[in-house]
A and B are shown apart, each in its own frame.
Chain A
Amino acid sequence: VSYLPFALAVWIFLVGLYGVVSSRNLIHLAVSLNVAQSSTYVLLLSVGYRERGTAPIFADVPRGTRAVDPVVQALTLTDVVVSVTIMGLLLALAIQAHRHRRTVDPEELRALHG
């Protein structure tokens, strides 16, 4: 097994996290979070990868054809749906922030602390 995809997943995750930690703009924040979430697609798909495997569609191929794991592909699709939901919610919050507070900077939105 190559470690490259796992290293790539960790790298994408850390890049996304850096964006989230340093962000001063809610839209940038949402996109950064989405980048971090993309790392899980890479991780899941590389977990299910088989050397020289085809897509897991068993209609027109001889029995015993090597295919990649369909379960992780289903997981990834679910994950994509989840990330779109979160993205939509965060962008909606950004719109509300702009409408009611005239800012999208999380630090200026701060009402409670301590």
Chain B
Amino acid sequence: MEVLVPLPVVVPLIAAAALTASGHFLGRRADDIVGIATAAATTVISTLLVVRSLDHDLVYWFGGWTPRQGVALGIAFDVEPLSAALAALAGALTTASFVFAWRYFDEVGTLFHVLMLIFLGAMSGFVLTGDLFNMFVFFELMSVCAYALVAYQVEAPAPLQGAVNFAITNTIGALFILMGIGLVYGRTGALNLAQVGRTLEGSKPDGLILVSFALLLGGFLVKAGAVPFHFWLSDAYAAAPIPVCVLLSGVMSDLGLHAIARIYWPAFSGVLAAGTEELRALLVGLGVLTALVGAAMAFLQRDLKRLLAFVTISHVGVFLAGVGLLTARGLAASTLYVIADGFVKAALFLAVGILIHRAGSGDELRLRGRGHRTPVGAFVLVGGALLVAGVPPLGSFLGWSLLVASAREVGYGWLPPVLTVTAIVTGGTLLRSAGRIVLGWGDEDDPLLTAEPPAEEEEPQVAESRLSPPLLFAPALALLAVGIGAAFTPGFGARATAWALRLQDRPTHAAEVLRGEVPPQTPPVPVHAGMAPYAYGLLSLAGAVLFALFGLYRRRLPELLRQRAGRLLDPPLTVLKELHSGVVGDYVAWLTFGIAALGGLVAVLIR
């Protein structure tokens, strides 16, 4: 049974190597088939790992280097259900991307498939590993693949800029992580997370520990795209090819947050226990800020990919707030939210891809009233927009209920209303686009929205002659269906909370990893959220519809009202837009400021 554990990494890597060796002789369709088969197999293996790890972690020591007398020298994969579920999500989204790419790309080389498969293997390894340095290696592997994939259509100007900004900022983020790892190793002499936690246990949180924690936190927040580390994200996601966006937005961003959870609880929760309250305030505050900035910026976009990139940032903020509550329910909420929302966002990106392919543009204003050219694309766009706004009890509602319950548990009753506002703005913005594209509503132009990049290439050829290719539509519909259905797994919320508790129970977890002691069963924890999540959900749905109408017909509001509101809102929105300058030097300056501020806050708050 343990033999399954390394397979989500090994299978895609071997397939990628085989494709590199033989793909050029086999031709495009063979590459596609190998890609789809490998990704699907990886999904199945990761799902099996979820099932196998329901009762206890699966700990796999590479090369048989098991710990002696509770001291780990080898490198371990430590599989628990939440991580394995994220690996399965990565596999499922990769499969959908490959199926979509079958018809989406007119020409694509073997390199694309190879990079996608390595990307998948690296993501799986990143979530499954229980070792700090191993985590860094998979982090870099997944990042390098992502940079190259963003730059895949390198002839256009945007991918170059996106890839350069992405590569530079994320490499510096990785340096933060590496320095953090170096300092942790210097203090503990250990790289295994459970071992680090056991060594740090009982010591005082001195400067070295705080600095290394802040560096690790900051580095992973760069990958997640939390404010002020988020600037690269919108440039990269707007420039990447659609099948790549699906992976970046659907799962990669969220892996950064999961890494924070996997580092905090096994390794740092003991030594930082006295500062739990303060750390909670810091993380939730960052999450709320990110959610608000992402939502506001999304509203100002007309390019659908860039719009969705900012929606991604906003959602990362929500997930960060969920993890940052530092409760089992909060962690479970975030993970369930990530999974359901990952499918929905992936479906939305595919809908944009279908629009680009069938209606010739990915720009909201240019597409006005053109949605009828692709009924399926329009359907997925509307459905996804509604799900982002929140349709109880569908989609990410399960995660949302847990989040509400968790916020109440720790006295953060103000959090759900604030996050509802961000859901209204993000959902409303997507509904605005859907209304304009599908129904042709709203004005033809809107000066508030970010101007299009200077168009130099003619509009892509719209293939009229072809029949509607089902391979283009099927993955989008399937992802949307899974996203909707995610909420209907019975008892999922209660069980996910129990898994989160298992991850957070540091002594038991350490005994399991280092001494192989099988932990006692954790019973499911009932959700107990009451009716409040439904109320918030309905509120955000209604609010989003109204907000969409506002976005469409803003300029028909009475003159007086518009002037007042304009005077109040224009300056901050203009400044916010200016900050997203697209120049990598500015982004790195923000990064430096962010890590310094984070370090300062951690040092001041947690002592």
A residues whose Cβ falls under 8 Å from a Cβ of B: 9, 13, 17, 20-23, 26, 29, 33, 36-37, 39-40, 43-44, 47-48, 71-72, 75, 78-79, 82, 85-86, 89-90, 93, 96-97, 100-101, 106-107, 109-114
> What is the CA–CA distance of A72 and B160 in the complex, to the nearest angstrom?
35
Apart from the given pairs A21-B585, A43-B179, 4 other A-B contacts in the complex at a CB distance below 8 Å:
A17-B588, A39-B179, A109-B157, A111-B156
A89 and B174 CA atoms in complex are apart in Å by 16
Nearest chain A CB to B106 CB, angstrom units:
19
What A residues does B303 contact at CB under 8 A? 112
A-B contact pairs, 30 of them (CB 8 A): A13-B179, A20-B172, A20-B584, A21-B585, A23-B585, A26-B164, A33-B172, A40-B182, A75-B133, A75-B181, A75-B182, A78-B137, A82-B137, A89-B144, A89-B167, A93-B154, A96-B154, A100-B155, A106-B161, A106-B583, A106-B585, A111-B239, A111-B454, A111-B582, A112-B161, A112-B303, A113-B450, A113-B580, A114-B300, A114-B577
Partner of B238, one of A17, A72, A112: A112
Residues of B within 8 A of A (CB): 133, 137, 140, 144, 147-148, 151, 154-158, 160-164, 167-168, 171-172, 174-175, 178-179, 181-183, 185-186, 191, 234-235, 238-239, 300, 303, 306, 450-451, 453-454, 577-578, 580-585, 588-589, 592
The verdict on A109 contacting B171 (CB below 8 Å), with A89-B147, A96-B154, A114-B577 known, is no
Q: In the complex, what residues of A have CB within 8 A of residue B147's CB?
A: 89
Chain A residues with Cβ under 8 A from B163's Cβ? 93
A21 x B588 contact (CB < 8 A): yes
Inter-subunit contact A112/B585 (CB<8 Å): no
Number of A-B residue pairs having CB atoms within 8 Å of each other in the complex: 134
Q: How far is the CA of A112 from the CA of B582 in the complex (A)?
A: 6
Assess the A47–B186 pair: CB atoms within 8 A: yes
Residues of B within 8 A of A17 (CB): 172, 588, 592
Given the complex, which residues of B lie within 8 Å of A21, measured CB to CB?
585, 588-589, 592
| Alpha-carbon gap, A38 to B171, bound state (A) | 12
Residue of A nearest to B164 (CB): A93
User: A112 CB to closest chain B CB, in angstroms?
Assistant: 5
Q: How far is the CB of A114 from chain B (nearest CB, A)?
A: 4
Measured CA separation A3–B454 after assembly (Å): 52
Contact indicator A90/B155 (Cβ below 8 Å)? no
B585 touching A22 by the CB < 8 A rule?
yes
- For residue A75, which residues in chain B have a CB less than 8 angstroms away from its CB? 133, 181-182, 185
In the complex, A16→B162 CA distance in Å?
Answer: 21
Q: Of B148, B182, B191, B582, which is within 8 A of A113 by CB? A: B582
Residues of chain A within 8 A (CB-CB) of B585 are: 20-23, 106
Known contacts: A78-B137, A96-B154, A107-B583. The answer to whether A33 contacts B578 by CB under 8 A is no
- Evaluate contact between A112 and B172: CB separation under 8 angstroms: no
Cβ-defined contact, B175 with A72, below 8 A: no
Please determine whether A71 and B175 come into contact, CB atoms closer than 8 angstroms.
no
- A44 pairs with B182, CB closer than 8 A: yes
Are B581 and A20 touching (Cβ within 8 A)? Answer: no
Query: Are A114 and B164 in contact (CB-based, < 8 A)?
Result: no
Known: A40-B178, A72-B182, A72-B185. A101 touches B588 (CB 8 A): no
A100 pairs with B580, CB closer than 8 A: no
Determine the residue in chain B with the shortest Cβ distance to A95. B154
Give the residue of B156, B167, B175, B306 whose beta carbon is less than 8 angstroms from that of A37.
B175
In the complex with contacts A21-B588, A96-B151, A97-B160, A85-B144 CB distance below 8 A: yes
Cα–Cα, bound, A71→B300 (Å): 49
Closest approach, in angstroms, between the C-beta of B599 and any C-beta of chain A? 12
Distance A114 CA – B234 CA, assembled complex (angstroms): 10
With A89-B147, A112-B235 in contact, is A100–B182 under 8 Å at CB? Answer: no
B164 touches A90 (CB 8 A): yes
Measured CA separation A47–B306 after assembly (Å) = 42
With contact pairs A21-B589, A71-B185, A100-B154 given, residues A110 and B161 touching in the complex (Cβ less than 8 Å): yes
Most chain A beta-carbon contacts within 10 A, residue among B140, B179, B182, B592: B182
Lowest 7 A-B CB distances belong to which pairs? A113-B582, A47-B186, A111-B157, A111-B158, A114-B577, A110-B582, A114-B450
Cβ contacts under 8 Å, B453 to chain A? 111-112
The answer to whether A93 and B167 touch across the interface, beta carbons within 8 angstroms, is yes
Partner of B578, one of A13, A86, A109, A114: A114
Q: For B182, list chain A residues within 8 Å (CB).
A: 40, 43-44, 47, 72, 75
Contacts of A109 in B (CB 8 A): 157, 160-161, 164
Neighbouring A residues of B583 by C-beta, 8 Å: 106-107, 110, 113
State A3–B318 Cα separation when bound (angstroms): 40
Closest Cβ–Cβ distance, residue B235 to chain A (whole Å): 6
Q: Which residues of A contact B592 (CB under 8 A)?
A: 17, 21
Residues of B within 8 Å of A72, CB to CB, are 182, 185
Least Cβ distance of A110 to chain B in Å?
Answer: 4
How far is the CB of A72 from the nearest CB of chain B, in Å?
Answer: 7
A47 CA to B300 CA, complexed, in Å? 47
Closest beta carbon of chain B to A35's beta carbon, Å: 11
Tell me the bound Cα distance from A36 to B592 in angstroms: 12
Q: Is B584 touching A36 in the complex (CB atoms < 8 A)?
A: no
Chain B: CB-nearest residue to A94: B164
The chain A residue sitting closest to B184, CB to CB, is A47
Is A112 within 8 A of B162, CB to CB?
Answer: yes
CB distance from B231 to the nearest CB of A (A): 10
Would you give the shortest CB distance from A66 to chain B, in whole angstroms?
A: 16
Q: Which residues of A contact B155 (CB under 8 A)?
A: 100
A47 B584 Cβ-Cβ under 8 A: no
Given A79-B178, A100-B154, A86 and B167 contact (CB-CB distance below 8 Å): yes
